[in-house]
Structure 1
Amino acid sequence: MDLPPAERHLKRWEAVGMTGQSMTVAVAAATPSSCDATAAAAETIALVLGEDSPLPDSRRAVVDLVQRLRGHLMELGALAASGPAVDQAHAISSADLPDGYVPSRVYLRRLALAMNDVLAELPAVSGPS
C-alpha cells in the first residue's frame, strides 16, 4: 500500500482509554512485523495521556503502566532511528520511579510523552502493494 506523502509519516490510531471513551493518537506508519508493537505502544500511551483517562489510583497501576512503556521502548527503540526522542525516552526510562502520588504520576506522564515522540520518529515504510 502506497501512502500519500501527508500520511506517510503519521497515521491515526483509535485507542480506547480506561474510561471506555476513544481517542485518536498519532503513530508512525510501520511495517507489518512492527504494527502490533506500534499499536500496543499507542494503546498504552492513550491509557496514560488520554484526555478522559483518569490518573492511576494505585502505585501498582502506575508501576504496571511504567513497565509496559519501558517494554514498548525496548521493542520500538530498535526500529526508530537514533535521535533526540529515543535518547530522551531512554533517559527518562532509566530513572527510578519516584515515590509519592504526584511525582510518580508526573514521571509516568513524562515517559508516555517521550514514547509518543518515539512513535512519531519511527521511519515511514510502505506496506505490501
Structure 2
Amino acid sequence: MNVKINWDALGITASVACAIHCAVLPLFLTTMPIFGFEVINNLAFEVFMIILAFGIGSYSLYHGRKKHHHSYLPLIIFSFGISFLLAKQIWHHYEVLLLMPAVLLVVSAHYYNYRLCRRANHCHEHDCNH
C-alpha cells in the first residue's frame, strides 16, 4: 500500500492549529489551573510547535521546489514566517504583533507552494499530492 501525504496541507493544518492555540488559549487561562494544567509560558510546548511547523514546512517546501516548480520564493516566505515565530519567543511583550505575520507568512508559503506545484507543466494529478 503506497500512501501519499500532502505535505502542504499538513503544514497549513499545523500552522492553523498553532494560531488557534494562541488565539483560544487566553480564553481558557482562568479555568486551566483549576484542572491542573499549566499552559502559561509553557516553553516546551511552544518550542515543540515551532519545531513541528519548521520540520513539516521545510520538507514540504523543499519537495515542491525540487520536484515541481524550482522556485525559492515559498522557502523565503516560509523563512520569514519562522523568523517571526522565533522572535515571538524572544520578545514576549510583542507576541500578538509577531504571531499574526508569522502565521500569515507560513500559511501563505504553503499555499503558494501548492499553487506552484499545481501549475508546473510536468505535474500530473497523482504526482502533486506528494
Match of 2:46 in 1: 59
**Are 2:74 and 2:113, in contact at CA under 8 Å, matched by a contact in 1?**
yes
Please report how far the alpha carbon of residue 126 of structure 1 lies from its aligned counterpart in structure 2 after TM superposition.
5.0
Counterpart selection for 2:83 from 75, 93, 97: 97
Root-mean-square deviation (CA, aligned residues, Å) is 3.0
Please report how far the alpha carbon of residue 110 of structure 1 lies from its aligned counterpart in structure 2 after TM superposition.
0.5
Please report how far the alpha carbon of residue 43 of structure 1 lies from its aligned counterpart in structure 2 after TM superposition.
2.1
Q: Which amino acid aligns with 2:72?
A: D
Q: Which amino acid aligns with 2:4?
A: D
Alignment of 1:52-91 (within 5 A): 54-56=20-22, 58-60=45-47, 61-82=49-70, 86-91=71-76
Query: Residues 105, 40 of structure 1: CA spacing in aligned structure 2 closer, same or farther, 3 A cutoff?
Result: same
Match of 2:29 in 1: none
Would you say how many aligned residue pairs link Structure 1 and Structure 2? 88
Asked if 1:36 is matched to 2:17, the reply is no
Identity, in percent, stands at 8
Query: Residues 55, 108 of structure 1: CA spacing in aligned structure 2 closer, same or farther, 3 A cutoff?
Result: same
Query: Residues 94, 54 of structure 1: CA spacing in aligned structure 2 closer, same or farther, 3 A cutoff?
Result: closer
- The answer for unaligned runs of 5 or more in structure 1 is 1-32
CA distance in 1, matches of 2:68, 2:99: 27
CA deviation profile, 1:33-54 (whole Å, cap 9, x unmatched): 8x724x132122133247xx61
- Bigger share in helix: 2
CA distance in 2, matches of 1:108, 1:120: 18
Runs of 4+ in 1 over 3 A off after TM superposition: 55-58, 93-96
Query: Residues 109, 70 of structure 1: CA spacing in aligned structure 2 closer, same or farther, 3 A cutoff?
Result: farther
- The answer for unaligned runs of 5 or more in structure 2 is 26-44, 89-94
**Are 1:89 and 1:118, in contact at CA under 8 Å, matched by a contact in 2?**
yes
Normalising by the residue count of structure 1, what TM-score does the alignment of the two structures yield? 0.50
Asked if 1:46 is matched to 2:34, the reply is no
Normalising by the residue count of structure 2, what TM-score does the alignment of the two structures yield? 0.50
- Bigger share in strand: 1
